Amino acid sequence: MLSSLSRLAAGTVAVLALSAGAVTAVPAAAQPSPSRWTAAQGQVSARVELTGGSLTLAVVRGGRTVLAPAAVGLHTAEVDLSTGLRVVDVDRRTVVERYRMTTGKRLERSARMSELRLALRGAGDAAMDLVVRVARDGVAYRYELPAPLTVTGEASAFTLPADAPAWLLPYNSYYEQNRVATTAAGAAAGDFGNPSLFQVGEDFALLTESDVDGRYSGSRLRHAAGSPTYQVVLADAEVTARRTPWRTAIVGDLATVTESTLVDDLASPSRVRDTSWVRPGKVAWSWLSDHPSPSDFARQKDFVDFAARNNWYAVLVDEGWSAEWVPELVRYARARGVEILLWFHWNRLDTAEERDTTLPLVKSWGVRGVKLDFMESDSQARYQWYDAVLAKTAELELMVNFHGSTIPHGLARTWPHIMTMEAVRGAENYPLPANNPVQAFTRNVVGSMDYTPVSLDTGIHRASIAHEVALAVVYESGWQHFADMPEAYERRPEALRYLNQLPTAWDETQLVAGHPGSGAVFARRGGDRWFLGAIASGEARTVTAPLRFLGPGRWLVEVVRDGEEPRGDLVRSARVLTNRDTLAIDVPSDGGFAAVACRARPGRSTCYLPPRHVPASALSVTPAGEVDVAKGEAVEVTAVFSADREVRDVRLAPVVPEGWSVHGREVTRHRLPAGEELRGRWTVRVGQGSAEGYVDLPVVATFDAAGWPDRVHVEEAVRLFVPPPPLNGTPFVSEVPFVTETNGWGPVERDRSVGESDAGDGNPLTIDGVVYDRGLGTHAPANVTVYLGQRCSRFTALLGLDDETSEPGSVAFQVVGDGEPLFDSGVLRPGPALPVDLDVTGVRMLSLRVTDGGDNKNFDHADWAEARLTC
């Protein structure tokens, strides 16, 4: 009797195909014992046993039991599929897949797995398949159902020897605790996060899960005091599903575990057909080292200039950026060959409407990727959000960094525009160097890790400079966000020169030496160069690195190590070696070193490649100032472009919003010599359905430049203002369209207090016990601009701090007309509302501003109660 789930019939012969993503079958083996089944690849085998209606699974490597028999089964609201089971059919096949990643420890992947499928029946003839896959680097299993059932839990568990050393992560939903070294049975009672590492004699087992998405719930491992068993526990009390993720054990020696791609091998294939727009790379990140800087346009330009000088891919603008200047920053950066990435709190994108408006907007600015933060949940609902936001960002060709997130579960294979995920106690938590080695053997095994390494002047200064620099090799991340400021790197030119050489996606990775408790030495190949990173924790010592990973022949090996000055620059030395040699480097306490190796040849003195830069260019546009253009009206736009060296295939044209029209053709030039100008002139007409307010009309020059891999994008914008309908009567400001809006926390609220970070979550406007029906709820620092069009004569309001805060704040209210100050309240604290009545005759733009009172923005909920205009 065959299972109700589709499968190859026993005895079917299929040709072993090796095409990308192919799933293939081989002849079934002879029917095994009715109560015990085995699947194997290389030294690793899985043994499934049915005893008294209950299933167990054990993992063996080289004849040694690594995972003892532990329960397998599924609990559902409809039927218990963990007991009373019988096997009605057995199927075997070999799964062979080849695929390419955009990030990771190895770009080209090849997986070969033996699959055992047991068709099971339980009470009432309820059906379930247990699918087991075995690879040379581990074992995984999942449950599949013929129809959705309400899963209330799993019997799934893993059992280790009681005294097995363990490196465990006390669970929280954002995976940022310090790992603890313990034993399987000696660990504290409670929940531990994936992945969890255990040592069983000469073997290691890393327990985790793969292929988790919105069809199921995330999980963790629960441990009872004194028990060697770890139970899989779901984040949700129940979840309706037809299949589960893969319960995964990566098994082998330390090299096998750290080099494993099993989690990705088990994941669903890519849903993105064309990945040519996906770019890993080095990223300058200012938030940790210069916390106010994400709100400072000029300071972000410093980071852009630094990235351009050093050929880093992008700048991440973290919490605090403003829509008022980000488009201009993007234009500034792209002209210099640098991309801009933007930070978002995940709840800014937690609805389809927000995703459909916010993401296309930042895409229209030229932003290349987003950092999404504070998801902090393994629930099915949050995984469904991951699914939705990944689908939308893929559609828009926006790359993604998940921060405050779950761990990777093979997501970067399914969605190759995921560049990295956090789920680690990274540099922003100032971890001690003793916590650094274990991350390479645990968290980073399962996917790119946004640790934000290389803190030189920021942080606690416990690890040596060479240790910090080596982290950029030891830790893999498709986007490697470096944690310090430009000045810190430029004070150490040898350290910076080494960082500038590093790829962030690798052709090959090998563990050279190390142990979770003491240190790690990794070699990673990018093209024809090998990079070596070594970190140690604890006392000063000699760290050795056998060079067996190098190919035959002679290699030039350049080493950077700590100098005599503890926080000073690195020292670089070079020598010719072979793969029979071993590097032996003396390192200080919590020290390390890094190296690069390339083929030695006559006349070659360095492996370092010169940095690449885009041509310096100039693009000027007219009109140069802000221009009012009503719907249906036209404006003439001109542009002049030139570059300081020859560029090719130049294209120059305006990019108009949907519904607008442009008269005039794109200007092109096959070859534009250095210094020669390319000019264009166009008539642009505003669409009748145009949005009102400020509209940036970009004029874009794109071109190819010798030595630069991508097409260069240079853009300047004509600043237009499309006026809203004229104001009449005595409208409340909460009824008037906002031209611009910024707020210190959440959006500005109309006729409510600011509340929390979501729109519409405020309370009635209340100042000193008095409730007001109309007004604006803001949080310092805030700025709301409305268009008066010189049609209004008076502005009145009652100003004060809202009563909703639990602790008192302090703010200052300011009113500005066309850039000129009209009113300043001075610092206000909780108390009665302050009335304001101002003459605004002749004012075109009125700005209502709130500052933090000089003592930070905490509790600064500021109300413009009964704010009204006379027009």
Both structure tokens of 125: 């003839």
Strands (E), 101-236: 108-121, 127-135, 138-154, 157-159, 165-170, 180-183, 190-200, 203-210, 219-223, 229-234
Amino acid at position 574, single letter: A
Q: Which class for 789: exposed (0-12), middle (13-18), buried (19 or more C-beta within 10 A)? A: middle
Closest listed residue to residue 78, CA positions, set 118, 126, 119, 116? 126
Residue 208: CB atoms within 10 Å = 31
**Would you say the C-alpha torsion 29, 33, 35, 41 has a positive or negative sign?**
negative
Residue 178, CA atoms < 13 Å, CB-side half-sphere: 12
User: Which is it for strands 634-643 and 770-772: parallel, antiparallel or unpaired?
Assistant: unpaired
User: What is the 8-class DSSP label of residue 680?
Assistant: E
Both structure tokens of 780: 């310092």
Catalytic residue chosen out of the listed positions 428, 494, 860, 866: 428
Answer yes or no: are the C-beta atoms of 614 and 708 closer than 8 Å: yes
Answer yes or no: are the C-beta atoms of 702 and 712 closer than 8 Å: yes
Per DSSP, what are the bridge partners of residue 556?
576, 598
Task: Give the integer Cα–Cα distance in Å for 846 and 869.
Answer: 11
* 866 part of the active site: no
Task: Give the integer Cα–Cα distance in Å for 24 and 15.
Answer: 7
Answer yes or no: are the C-beta atoms of 423 and 174 closer than 8 Å: yes
Rg, Å, the chain Cα set: 31
* 378 part of the active site: no
Q: At what angle do helices 352-365 and 326-334 cross, to 10 degrees?
A: 50
3-class DSSP assignment, residue 357: helix
Task: Give the integer Cα–Cα distance in Å for 248 and 219.
Answer: 12
C-alpha separations of 424 from 151, 173, 390 in Å: 29, 11, 21
Catalytic residue chosen out of the listed positions 236, 373, 422, 569: 373
Those residues whose C-beta lies under 8 Å from the C-beta of residue 291, and which sit 6 or more positions away, are none
Answer yes or no: are the C-beta atoms of 280 and 399 closer than 8 Å: no
Those residues whose C-beta lies under 8 Å from the C-beta of residue 602, and which sit 6 or more positions away, are none
Matching residue, tokens 């290349």: 368
Q: Which residues are catalytic?
A: 373, 428
